[in-house]
Structure 1
Amino acid sequence: MKILVTGKSGQVVTSLLEVAADMDDIELITVGRPDFDLADPPSVRQAILAAKPEIVVSAAAYTAVDRAEDERNLAYAINVMGAAAVAEAAAALRVPVIHLSTDYVFSGADPYPYLEDDEAEPKTVYGYTKLRSERAVASVNPRHIILRTSWVYSPFGNNFVRTMLRIATERDSIGVVSDQWGNPTSALDLAAAILLVATHTAKYSGIYHVAGMGETNWSGFARHIFDVSRAHGGPFADVEDILSSDYRTRARRPANSCLSTDKFERVFGWRPPDWQSSVDTVVRHIIDRDYPNYSSPGHDRHKA
């Protein structure tokens, strides 16, 4: 099966390449700038039509949540018009598109894990453009599967896990928000789910939630990262709970990013791993690669 993935260096793309490496029946093609640019729809169509894939995974997007508040036109061009161009090109080839979306399409005000058919009410420019991208994809390609996810991390690129470990090499204590809740999701698990979906696109379409099993807040997420890192000889720090009001950002983060994965489990017969075990795997991977002989610079507490 030939699968084209938009983007070349993102967490999901890199994770897809790693997961698919052991699958003899999968050929992954990645496309990215300068030949493929979501802000330039003709380049999108040309690259996809030339590759002639059997499935398209629309993974690339504008994801700078805070900057999007000031770059609305660019975020819209990439996330909406670019995504529509990807789905249109797939439709021209009569192949399905798997489009990645986000918990930011919801307000985050409700106290329960969001279902696929709950009202979407984004509170940020990023969330608004991703909601519009979902609708654009669905309108131009009837063979679509939209996967919403949350709190994605991996051994690659820029993400919360790698940021926490890096900061821990510089500080003994880190203040982390404790009043925002979600499902930490390993991009490696998400990649496995995408490849599973790719084998079922002839049967199913619509919106599904895929996220790590179980809920936590950012400070609980950070504590678990440091517990695993410390146990494996990597950097760690004390975590101080702070409120969102103590850590102001340009775009307001959802208080509740939790997603229910019941529909995905029921339809595809796959249950995401619990978030703690997936964090364990990713942290060990990072330590083995980036901190193999880590020694804390002068912090006696780290030697305890």
Structure 2
Amino acid sequence: MTILVTGAKGQLGREAVLALQADGEAFISIGRDELDFSQPAQVAEAIADYSADWVINCAAYTQVDKAEEERELAFTVNRDAARAVAEGVKRSGGHLLHVSTDFIFGGEQSRPYKESDATNPLGVYGQSKLEGEQAIREVLPEALILRTAWVYGAHGHNFVKTILRLAAEREELRVVDDQIGAPSWTSDIVKAMRVLIKNEATGTYQFSNEGVASWYDFAMEIVAGAKRAGFPVVAETIRPIPTEDFPLPAKRPAYSVMSKVKIRGMLDYQIPHWRESLYRMLKQQSGSQA
């Protein structure tokens, strides 16, 4: 079996490539340099030509705030190129695993969102990802869509790496405490992907680590874990603030925790709590910096 990973230089794509490489799997990795997802007309043909058994589509426009200004580009990459990937997979007779996001939900609920719950994106990024899901379903109804949230890992830009940098520079941090979600470590996401692919799953699934947190909770644990792992930390105070005190161009859902009941039934192991996975990531990072 050959697996093609798109967006292979991003934080999730890179993690997928390293896992496949470590396990000796046959894979093809393509990044932005090899295939420009802002040019969807080229994408379908390229994907079909690779003729992979599975395509893991990690390629996406993920700059949530910048998407408010670059609306056309966000929809081109997240909707039109996603459709093109599905078209290419359909032509070659393979299978597709497409990565989506919790930002397709509006945050009105106070219980975890099920895969079947109504969507209500609050910004361009979420809307473009939702329309990407819909475009894929139109072309390839049996595609596997995996929604995840608050993604962090060793590669690329993410909240954990931002907090590590700020905690080494500032004595006080101010972090939003009224947005609730669930962090997801790239290593755990990729592990779940591999199980879904092995079982030739179809339809929509949702994955994050266990537990819930506010960004403030997450930041507190990052700093505490960083100290234990030996990172340089000068931050002594982390202050919780409301969203209105930290205005950004894109509106975020106040609550975007997703139900994992469906994917738990597929996995043959317990999903780790986000605190456990965060500390494992920090220990790995501290070791790589030693």
TM-score normalized with structure 1 length: 0.91
Q: Does 1:213 align with 2:218?
A: no
The structure with the larger Rg is: 1
* Residues 177-216 of structure 1: pairs in structure 2 closer than 5 A: 177-201=176-200, 204-216=201-213
Cα distance in structure 2, aligned partners of 1:33 and 1:218? 30
CA deviation after TM superposition for structure 1 residue 270, in Å: 4.4
Check the 8 A contact 2:144/2:203 in 1, yes or no: yes
Q: Which residues of structure 1 form unaligned runs of 5+?
A: 293-304
1:104-145 C-alpha deviation (Å, 9 max, x unpaired): 000012111111111001111111111100011111013301
**Amino acid corresponding to residue 118 of structure 2 in structure 1:** E
3-state DSSP class of the match of 1:164? Answer: helix
> In the aligned structure 1, how far is the partner of 2:27 from the partner of 2:253?
34
Query: Are residues 1:6 and 2:11 paired?
Result: no
Matches within 5 A, 1:79-228: 79-201=78-200, 204-228=201-225
SS of corresponding position for 1:29: strand
The whole-number CA distance in structure 2 between the counterparts of 1:46 and 1:96 is: 16
* Cα deviation, residue 27, structure 1: 1.7
Which stretch of the first structure deviates more once superposed, 141-150 or 26-35? Answer: 26-35
Does the Cα contact within 8 Å between 1:6 and 1:57 map onto a contact in 2? yes
Structure 1 residues 241 and 206: alpha-carbon distance in aligned structure 2, compared to 1, 3 A threshold? same
Contact in 1 for aligned 2:102/2:257 (Cα 8 Å): yes
CA contact (8 A) 1:226 1:235 kept: no
Checking the alignment, whether the CA contact within 8 Å between 1:35 and 1:47 is kept in structure 2 is no
Which amino acid in the other structure matches residue 62 of structure 1?
Y
Aligned match of 2:231: 234
The 3-state SS of whatever aligns with 1:267 is: coil
Report Cα offsets for 1:202-238 as digits up to 9, x if no partner. xx32111011110011111111111111112213323
Supply the AA of the counterpart residue of 1:274: H
TM-score by length of 2: 0.96
Q: Any conservation in 1 of the 2:8–2:17 contact (CA below 8 Å)?
A: no
The Cα of 1:187 is off from its aligned counterpart by 0.7
| Distance across 1 between alignment mates of 2:226 and 2:72 | 41
Aligned: 1:60 with 2:22: no
Shift of 1:100: 0.5
Deviation at 1:42, TM superposition (A): 3.0
The number of residue pairs the alignment matches comes to: 288
Q: Is the 8 A contact 1:209 1:264 kept in 2?
A: yes
Query: Over aligned residue pairs, what C-alpha RMSD do you find?
Result: 1.3
> Per-residue displacement from partner, 1:148-184 (whole Å, max 9, x unpaired)?
1100000111001111111111111110111111110
Q: Percent identical across equivalent pairs?
A: 35
For the 8 Å contact 1:101–1:147, the answer to whether it is kept is yes
